A and B are shown apart, each in its own frame.
Chain A
Amino acid sequence: MTHHPAIARTYQNALRHRSLVLAGLSGVLALSVLLDCAVGPAELSPATILRAVFAPTGVDEQTGLIVWQIRLPYALMAACVGAALGLAGAEMQTILANPLASPFTLGLSAAGAFGASLAIVLDWHMEHVPDMWLTAGSAFVCAALSVWLLDILVRLRQGGTGTVILCGVALVFSFQALVALMQFVANEDALQNLVFWTLGSLTRATWGTLGLLSGALACILPFSLRASWPLTTLRMGEDRAASLGVDVPRLRRAALLRISLLCALAVAFVGVIGFIGLVAPHIARRLVGEDHRFYLPASMLSGACILSLAALVARVLVPGVVVPTGIVTALVGIPFFLVIVLRRGEGLP
């Protein structure tokens, strides 16, 4: 059929290779989630976990309770938050054409932390609404507002991607200062709660928050994938994408909306977890290149894997204590990240 059989075959092979990488990442993720469920004070074998999940009648009530109420939400939340941050980071680095862009570096996380600190320190209560949801809601509103503010600042100046990064950095410092201010005026109890929150922790995951986050992820992913061709052209330069007929401002606004939803929800439920949104896209780029049909899912799966593994480490590091996950991702992840960046040896990607 084709006049270039060799090229067509090479291309098909490349596509198959990328699909295999995605399958491999999914496998690693499944394994990591399973291990994550198995580790804990009550020794449960992976086989017991699987039985508790797929045939709940086969295990005793206590085991079922531990698996369903404690282990599963924690393990799945790690994967979900990682996936959300990985996808958001990948889109962010593409639309801002900057390898340093991430929810963390552009102030979304800091804004979310500020929102949470408002609710915690000012001791907000609302009838019929659990305090946890109120904190999460406040974090969500602030994170979403920060993206909106960023968009306005950039459009006002008609600036390029450099302006976006600079405005993002300004937002990071502003919100960090505001969080510090809230810590300064907080009483002891609130301070304890707030510090725990800003460190990022998965221990408060429930089926409700998990459902909301995974639902949002499932709704947003198809839109991201639909934009994968224009996003790929955008990687070759903003002007080039525009010249090929892509409506770049519209593409960018839609991506920002998706990013703000994903990050704001992630921050709202588990606090500040940096680094995933920054490093997952870099890993994905090395694994599958920049064809966004593969790059976006690869970044999502990489993010999920990293956070899931970090959550595992967080629980086995100090026996009997769950170290806040945000600390682990940074401590374990950054050396790993440096290895990736330095091994490349050719500067920016």
Chain B
Amino acid sequence: MTAPAPTGLTGLTGLTLRNLSARYGRKSVLAGLDAGPFPHGMLCAVLGPNGSGKSTLLRAAGGLLHATGTITLDRMDLTPLPRAQRAQHCLYLPQALPEPVRLSVLDAMLAARHATGRQGSTSTAADIDAAMTCLTDVGIAHLATQSLHELSGGQRQLAGLAQALGRKPRALLLDEPLSALDPYYQQTVMALIRRETAQRNLVTLIVLHDLNMALNQCDLACLLHNGHILAYGPPAEVLTPAHLRTVYRIDARVETGGDGQRFISTAGVV
């Protein structure tokens, strides 16, 4: 049932999931799923309708959910690692925004940095420098001393991203990072994720509901259907009318607009 990896991506580096099974209570969500390899430096959309197992896939890969099978990153098996170490390699970012608590953005950055014990550098000045570099990267350095409870949802999402980048993972798993944001921040966050993925050479998986975003902004797409991967490859090859019909139960076509942007035109449900 597994779609073959797209040509040219068969190298051994990147994130690979083999025979992954996970369940919530008695309900099996993933049963023997194989996925990847997801290559470095490319943004890969994880698509599928509600309940298809997208979040479960990411949580299992990030180690937040107990799952059987193997997860390898650059030929290194992550499954036996304790949670703290695993987060150093492969970091999952939850769907919920950081809570609006009375904590400055800088405090939040430092807390994320020290959450699993103090990291290499020990001086506070060095920690602040590292935090400020990440905040500058995501464009909210000017908010460093503001409290999270004073920020907008979009700004908190950026702070959350900065926390994740500050941990310097090699793989980033983003669970619907755009769902709580307005169009301005959706574009801002997406552009940021694209840029950082390329610059830091990250393996980035991103769960999206916005198919047009996947079509135009992602390098790869991975389509989930009932807990297995139906298709994996360049977004235009994955989001075909046949696949949309099977997976999303919609009658839709992919069209190209005047500016070269592709979009999905939906005629109705099947």
Check if A290 is an interface residue, CB within 8 A of chain B: yes
Check if B83 is an interface residue, CB within 8 A of chain A: yes
The reply to whether B129 and A4 form a contact with Cβ atoms under 8 Å apart is yes
Q: Contacts of A245 on B, CB cut-off 8 Å?
A: 83-88, 115-116, 167
Distance in angstroms from A186 CB to nearest chain B CB is 45
With contacts A4-B132, A237-B96 taken as known, whether A247 is within 8 angstroms of B84 at the C-beta atoms is: yes
The answer for the CA separation of A293 and B111 in the assembled complex, in Å, is: 10
Distance in angstroms from B52 CB to nearest chain A CB is 20
Q: Contacts of B84 on A, CB cut-off 8 Å?
A: 245-247
The answer for the CA separation of A233 and B98 in the assembled complex, in Å, is: 9
The reply to whether B94 and A243 form a contact with Cβ atoms under 8 Å apart is yes
Task: Select B163's contact among A97, A244, A247, A291, beta carbons within 8 Å.
Answer: A244
The reply to whether A239 and B64 form a contact with Cβ atoms under 8 Å apart is yes
Check if B125 is an interface residue, CB within 8 A of chain A: yes
With contacts A237-B98, A245-B87, A246-B115 taken as known, whether A14 is within 8 angstroms of B104 at the C-beta atoms is: yes
Distance in angstroms from B238 CB to nearest chain A CB is 27
With contacts A11-B128, A230-B115 taken as known, whether A244 is within 8 angstroms of B99 at the C-beta atoms is: no
The reply to whether B111 and A291 form a contact with Cβ atoms under 8 Å apart is yes
| Chain A 227-263 per-residue mask, 1 if CB under 8 angstroms from chain B, else 0 | 0011011011101111111110000000000000000
The reply to whether B101 and A290 form a contact with Cβ atoms under 8 Å apart is yes
Distance in angstroms from A114 CB to nearest chain B CB is 34
Check if B112 is an interface residue, CB within 8 A of chain A: yes
The reply to whether A240 and B96 form a contact with Cβ atoms under 8 Å apart is yes
CB within 8 Å: A-B pair count: 118
The answer for the CA separation of A239 and B83 in the assembled complex, in Å, is: 13
The reply to whether A243 and B96 form a contact with Cβ atoms under 8 Å apart is no
How many A residues have CB within 8 A of the partner chain? 32
The reply to whether B115 and A7 form a contact with Cβ atoms under 8 Å apart is no
Complex interface residues of chain A between 117 and 165 (CB less than 8 A to chain B): 158
Q: How large is the interface on B (under 10, 10 to 19, 20 to 34, 35 or more residues)?
A: 35 or more
The reply to whether A3 and B92 form a contact with Cβ atoms under 8 Å apart is no
Distance in angstroms from A155 CB to nearest chain B CB is 13
Distance in angstroms from B192 CB to nearest chain A CB is 18
Check if B193 is an interface residue, CB within 8 A of chain A: no
Check if B181 is an interface residue, CB within 8 A of chain A: no
The answer for the CA separation of A97 and B100 in the assembled complex, in Å, is: 12
With contacts A232-B103, A244-B167, A290-B102 taken as known, whether A7 is within 8 angstroms of B93 at the C-beta atoms is: no
Task: Select A237's contact among B92, B99, B125, beta carbons within 8 Å.
Answer: B99
Q: Contacts of B126 on A, CB cut-off 8 Å?
A: 2
| Chain A 76-102 per-residue mask, 1 if CB under 8 angstroms from chain B, else 0 | 000000000000000000000100000
The answer for the CA separation of A237 and B123 in the assembled complex, in Å, is: 27
Check if A285 is an interface residue, CB within 8 A of chain B: yes
| Chain B 124-157 per-residue mask, 1 if CB under 8 angstroms from chain A, else 0 | 1110110010000000000011011100000000
Check if A349 is an interface residue, CB within 8 A of chain B: yes
Q: Contacts of B71 on A, CB cut-off 8 Å?
A: none
The residue in A1, A14, A158, A236 that gathers the most chain B C-beta atoms within 10 A of its C-beta is A236
| Chain A 259-300 per-residue mask, 1 if CB under 8 angstroms from chain B, else 0 | 000000000000000000000000001000111000000000
Check if A8 is an interface residue, CB within 8 A of chain B: yes
Distance in angstroms from A246 CB to nearest chain B CB is 5
Task: Select A289's contact among B114, B125, B147, beta carbons within 8 Å.
Answer: B147
Task: Select B128's contact among A7, A243, A290, beta carbons within 8 Å.
Answer: A7
Q: Which residues of B come within 8 Å of A, CB atoms? A: 25, 62, 64, 82-88, 91-99, 101-104, 106-108, 111-112, 114-116, 123-126, 128-129, 132, 144-145, 147-149, 160, 163-164, 167
Question: Besides the contacts A3-B132, A289-B104, what 5 more A-B pairs have beta carbons closer than 8 Å?
Answer: A158-B25, A239-B95, A243-B62, A244-B163, A245-B116
Q: Which 5 A-B pairs have the closest CB atoms?
A: A245-B87, A239-B94, A245-B84, A232-B111, A229-B114
